[in-house]
Amino acid sequence: MPESPNILDIKNLEVNFKVYGGQLKVVDDINFFVRFGEKVGLVGETGCGKTTTMKAILHVLPMPPAVIPKGEIYFKGKNILKMNTNELQRVRGKGISMIFQDPTAALNPVFSIEEQLGAVIRYSINSNKDSKEEIHQRSVVALQEVALADPERLLKSFPTQLSGGMRQRVCIGMALATGPELLIADEPGTSLDVTIQDQVLRLLRKLVEEKNTSVIFITHSLGIVREMTDRVYVMYAGDIVEVATTKKMFANPRHPYTKGLISTVPRLTGGGVASGIAGRIPNYLHPPTGCRFHPRCSSVMDICKQQKPVAYNLDEDHQVACFLYQKEA
Amino acid sequence: MNEILTVTDLKKYFEVGQSGLFNKNSTMVKAIDGISFSVLEGETLGLVGESGSGKSTVAYTTVGMYAPTSGSIKFKGTDLFDKDGKRSLASKKNIQIVYQDPSSSLNPRQTIKDILEMPLRLHQPEKNTLEQTIRLLDLVGMPPEYMYKNPHMLSGGEKQIIAVARALATDPSLVILDEPTSALDVSVQAKMINLLLDLQKKLNLSYLFITHDLSLMRNVATRVAIMYLGKICEIADTSDFFQKPLHPYTQMLLSSIPVISDAEEAMKPKKVISKGEIPSPVNIPNGCSFNTRCPFVEDICLKVDPVMVNQGNNGHMVRCHLFSKNIQ
Amino acid sequence: MAENADLDDLEKSNYSIQQIKNMERASRRQNIGRSWYKFSRNPLSVVGIATVALVIMLAIFAPYVAPYPKHAGPFTDFAHAKIMPSLAYPFGTDQIGRDILSRIIFGLRSSLLMGVVVLALVVPPGVFLGLLAGYYKGSWIDTVIMRITDIFLAVPPLILALAVASVLEPNLWHGMLAVSLMWWPWYTRLVYGITVQLRNEYFVKAAEVTGASTAHILFKEILPNTLSPILTKMSLDVAWVIIIGSMLSYVGLGVQPPEPSLGTMISDGARYLPDQWWIALFPALAIVVVVLGFNLLGDGVRDMFAAQET
């Protein structure tokens, strides 16, 4: 098998959900990759399919009602969708680790921090003979890495005794304790206060850069994307509409949706409130023909209603799925 | 300009924990510990703060969910609460609230029609309710078909718009908006804000706008007040607040916001970077409650709680020893 | 302030009454379709509702469906007693010569009647008390109601039922009264727990803040959100009431002979085991089928009310 320069490669992934009335076409043939050591953002609004994609990567979608009619997800060259339970267990938590949006829900309130963190470490070491002493030491180190003071006392505490920021740090510590190569962070600061979020995100960036971990940041916050990622994918209604390096994305967004999204973010410098993007997200049971964004697009052309645009290369590392750029490619 | 809402030295304390004959273990949470502000007719006063700031308690007390522990809240000069801490039915129509999460503020087992009819029937029983409901939906830009839907059939933005319609059903003068767009996507947020600003002009509403999103506040509020652990730290006109922030906490908050352009990045105060945890409201530090995190902390901050002083001529007020020193 | 409406007539708005009625009808149809979809996801629920429907039909049309309707009353035919299940008597005959199948069909009547009547007596007051106590949690109303509930729950149920049934003349109605007295507290407890949680929900706060009356809040805001567990419990309870009713008639309290009751048939037939096994077995199987049917129906009802997340 040829050595891929990418730690994660998603090709032509489609995910549907069976419901009353038919199938919801939630993820519609997407391509997505992450290079080793890269920090990639996946930006989109509610219902765009980013959470479903993330769950597909870890292969934790409930099947039924979820169905994956086609597509491959390669993690270091192996297709996750075709792995058996043993292989999956080795990937989950060790190869790929996750930080959830709500740290309160991610931590079990009836177990102490030591029990939960210890369980993760024991699992990653993979040896039953490891003494409690070594696991305890590693737990202390894990907590120190996330800048939590007094780790010994913290290990004995319970999640309810910690603040939101501390819980999120514990979750980050747990996610990184196994030394994963790919970290998926789902809205990592959203449930935190702004001043705490700022500290947690700075810490996270420092840690992943130190360990050269690849990261996927899933978020709806463009500000966080700009601060934390090297490259960003924009997702709308199950499609990837644009991908570019973060700098290029903000300097020169091309897709009408991306442009609309960036324009609707209120600015600290003032300037009033933009008018938003007309229309609403499509019905996934009967999505629009052709480009899924066409009913809301101010630059819509006839071809947009009939065919789905493919990803046109604008230059290295900047692609956009829009017929407006067909000639430029 | 008239004052629609006048809050004077408002305090709201909650008793937390068991207290009874044999157990004196209750603690007092000082959710609001002496704040004063007013909302003028037709303006939007922004209230900003993080967890434990008390901003939601301000909202809930003003709308009548709690009775104040002390201090007064006056609507157009009349006290909202009588001496027993109760409010009259008539006063309930003047001040309404839109809650943050429309999924829990709309009854999932009711139809939109039920939800909107209740306040209409209560406060305007002489009019044709069905017709009023359709007009209300029209006012917020929703088609009448929505009457027969349940909330879960609507998107987050649509639900929140219904919540706004419900608030307007009683024909209020003041609407409290408690993080009205925090649960919404950015593109929907813009529509919601535009709707709110539109309605404000059309119906001459006053808003008490609560949010943690300072970028949004910048573009929506006429004046901004920032709260920390139950007290107001600074109040100013919006442009003064953002261009000349005085209180160290204001600066810390401004420097923590993720922004998307270099111009905004340049606006962020560089001297104060976020650090430290927010103390629990059960355990507020002595002296100035911000002293555990303030980069300019001095001895006096640990012992004496600063008072609100006027800085500048635009009604820019700040509560910090750095500025009251000038008076001393 | 809003400008005063100059629309006095509905006609002046852009929608006619007919259009509104059409919208209402369309949405109602959609709701029924969606409810059935959720109910029928599990095929067993469909089996449940079919079974219950069959049982109800049999009970209602008993005189026309039973092969020997007269056997359900005072009837003896010792010449044809204790006959094994055969073509003429599909479930066999009992020790007096009565067709067991016919008696089971008529016996379903008293079982179902018991289920329906007991629930009708028990659910409205039980739910109401639960709503009241839950909404006023911490006040004397809460204390009084819940302590009374505790008292009734402390008495072993069957003892209570037996005590009541033996003090009063033993018949079906007194049996139902006895069961009702021990059943209502469960609904109060159930609704109390849910109400205590719901009263802090923002939609309840929103109603309070607007000035809604307590009656509106209890019945229009909170009650609809308790319907799911209540209806599910009711479906399952019919099964339980039938069993309890059978137990009562098994010990002689409840339906009196010669009226057929499934419980009495089992107790009479127990004597003839194992040789004339059919006399006790078929009534027992009938109870099993009815109880199973209602249980499966209850599962389906719960699924139907499940959160509708897409």
Parallel, antiparallel or unpaired: strands B206-211 and B44-48: parallel
In terms of CA atoms, which chain C residue is nearest residue B121?
C212
Question: Percent of chain C beyond pLDDT 90?
Answer: 32
Task: Answer whether residue C205 shows pLDDT above 60.
Answer: yes
Q: Which residues of B touch A199 (CB under 8 A)?
A: 274-275
Q: Which residues contact residue B172 at a Cβ distance below 8 angstroms, ignoring those fewer than 6 apart?
A: B93, B94, B95, B96, B205
Q: Do B253 and A196 touch (CB under 8 A)?
A: no
Contact B14, B72 (CB under 8 A): no
Reported confidence tier of residue C11, pLDDT bands at 50, 70, 90:
very low
Residue B19 is given by DSSP the state B
Question: How is residue A298 written in tokens?
Answer: 């101010």
Q: Do C37 and A24 touch (CB under 8 A)?
A: no
Question: Percent of chain C beyond pLDDT 70?
Answer: 94
Separation CA B209–CA B225 (nearest Å): 10
Separation CA B85–CA A112 (nearest Å): 43
Chain A closest CA to C228's CA: distance in Å?
20
Separation CA B216–CA A270 (nearest Å): 9
Q: A67 has which bridge partners?
A: A16
Reported confidence tier of residue C9, pLDDT bands at 50, 70, 90:
very low
Long-range contacts of C58-65 (CB under 8 A, 24+ apart): C58/C105, C58/C108, C59/C105, C59/C108, C59/C109, C59/C112, C62/C105, C62/C106, C62/C108, C62/C109, C65/C105
Q: Which residues of A touch C33 (CB under 8 A)?
A: 20
In terms of CA atoms, which chain A residue is nearest residue C41?
A20
Instruction: Return phi, psi of residue B87, to 5°.
Output: -125, 150
Separation CA A309–CA A298 (nearest Å): 16
In the three-class reduction of DSSP (H, G, I as helix; E, B as strand; rest coil), residue B18 is classed as coil
Q: Which residues of C touch B97 (CB under 8 A)?
A: 206, 209
Chain C closest CA to B238's CA: distance in Å?
26
Task: Answer whether residue C160 shows pLDDT above 80.
Answer: no
Q: What is the per-residue pLDDT across A191-248, written as a single tens digit (0 to 9) for each?
A: 888 998 999 899 999 999 998 999 999 998 899 999 999 999 999 999 999 999 999 9
C129: nearest Cα among C200, C217, C195, C198 = C195
Type of residue found at B273:
I
pLDDT at C15: 66
Which member of A17, A20, A24 has the closest CB to residue C34?
A20
Parallel, antiparallel or unpaired: strands A239-245 and A231-236: antiparallel
Q: Does any CB of chain A come closer than 8 Å to the CB of residue C308? A: no
Q: Does any CB of chain B come closer than 8 Å to the CB of residue A223? A: yes
DSSP string, B80-105: SS-TTS---HHHHTTEEEE-S-HHHH
Q: What is the per-residue pLDDT across C21-73, written as a single tens digit (0 to 9) for each?
A: 888 888 888 888 888 888 888 899 999 999 999 999 998 998 898 888 888 88
Separation CA B114–CA B105 (nearest Å): 14
Q: Which residues of C touch A51 (CB under 8 A)?
A: none
Average pLDDT over residues C233-253: 81
Chain B closest CA to C157's CA: distance in Å?
34
Q: Do A19 and C310 touch (CB under 8 A)?
A: yes
Separation CA C103–CA A80 (nearest Å): 62
Instruction: Count residue pairs from B and C with Cβ separation < 8 A.
Output: 94
Q: Which residues of A touch B253 (CB under 8 A)?
A: 194-195
Q: Does any CB of chain C come closer than 8 Å to the CB of residue A19? A: yes
A17: nearest Cα among A67, A75, A54 = A67
Distances, alpha carbon C20 to alpha carbons B142, B144, B147, C29, in Å: 15, 8, 9, 14
Q: Do C33 and A24 touch (CB under 8 A)?
A: no
pLDDT at C185: 93
Give ipTM to 2 decimals: 0.86
Separation CA A248–CA B294 (nearest Å): 37
Judge if the upstream peptide bond of residue C156 is cis by omega within 30 degrees of 0.
Answer: no
Residue B184 is given by DSSP the state S
Helix or strand run (H / E) with residue A304: helix A302-306
Task: Answer whether residue C276 shows pLDDT above 60.
Answer: yes
Q: Does any CB of chain B come closer than 8 Å to the CB of residue A259? A: no
Chain A closest CA to B291's CA: distance in Å?
15
* Per-residue pLDDT tens listing for chain B (328 residues): 688 999 999 999 998 776 555 555 668 889 999 999 999 999 999 999 998 899 999 999 999 899 899 999 999 988 888 877 788 877 888 999 999 999 999 999 999 999 999 999 988 888 888 888 999 999 998 988 899 889 988 888 899 999 999 999 999 999 999 999 988 888 888 889 999 999 999 999 999 999 988 999 999 999 999 999 999 999 999 999 999 999 999 999 999 999 998 899 888 988 888 888 888 888 889 999 999 999 999 899 999 899 998 887 788 999 999 987 644 4
Which member of B64, B122, B131 has the closest CB to residue C13?
B131
Residue A282 is given by DSSP the state P
* Position with higher pLDDT, C50 vs A177: C50
Separation CA A252–CA A229 (nearest Å): 16
B113: nearest Cα among B137, B139, B138 = B137
Contact B238, A244 (CB under 8 A): no
Task: Answer whether residue C306 shows pLDDT above 80.
Answer: no
Helix or strand run (H / E) with residue A7: strand A6-19
Which member of B214, B220, B280 has the closest CB to residue A273?
B220
Average pLDDT over residues C282-297: 90
Q: Which residues contact residue C136 at a Cβ distance below 8 angstroms, ignoring those fewer than 6 apart?
A: C142
pLDDT at B71: 92
Parallel, antiparallel or unpaired: strands A66-75 and A78-79: antiparallel
pTM of the model: 0.84
pLDDT at A329: 62
Separation CA A309–CA A324 (nearest Å): 9
Q: Which residues contact residue C211 at a Cβ distance below 8 angstroms, ignoring those fewer than 6 apart?
A: B89, B92, B93, B122, B123
Chain B closest CA to A247's CA: distance in Å?
10
Separation CA C159–CA C237 (nearest Å): 19
Question: How is residue A128 written in tokens?
Answer: 């039953």
Q: Which residues of A touch C31 (CB under 8 A)?
A: none
In terms of CA atoms, which chain C residue is nearest residue B94?
C210
Average pLDDT over residues C205-219: 92
Chain C closest CA to B146's CA: distance in Å?
9
Q: What is the per-residue pLDDT across A76-85, written as a single tens digit (0 to 9) for each?
A: 888 988 888 8
- Give C308: exposed, middle or buried? Use CB within 10 Å, 0-12, 13-18, 19+: middle
Question: How is residue A132 written in tokens?
Answer: 């409690």
Distances, alpha carbon B193 to alpha carbons A191, B116, B119, in Å: 22, 21, 23
C118: nearest Cα among C75, C168, C176, C163 = C176
Chain B closest CA to C208's CA: distance in Å?
8
Separation CA C120–CA C99 (nearest Å): 32
Q: Do A24 and C34 touch (CB under 8 A)?
A: no
In terms of CA atoms, which chain A residue is nearest residue B250?
A195
Q: How many CB atoms lie within 10 A of CB B121?
A: 16
Task: Answer whether residue C136 shows pLDDT above 70.
Answer: yes
**Separation of first and last alpha carbons in chain A:** 31
Q: Which residues contact residue C87 at a Cβ distance below 8 angstroms, ignoring those fewer than 6 apart?
A: none
Average pLDDT over residues A133-153: 87
Contact A73, A34 (CB under 8 A): no
Q: Which chains touch B (3 or more CB pairs under 8 A)?
A: A, C
pLDDT at B151: 92
Q: Do C206 and B148 touch (CB under 8 A)?
A: no
Q: What is the per-residue pLDDT across A254-297, written as a single tens digit (0 to 9) for each?
A: 999 999 999 989 999 888 888 888 887 888 888 888 899 999 89
In the three-class reduction of DSSP (H, G, I as helix; E, B as strand; rest coil), residue A271 is classed as coil
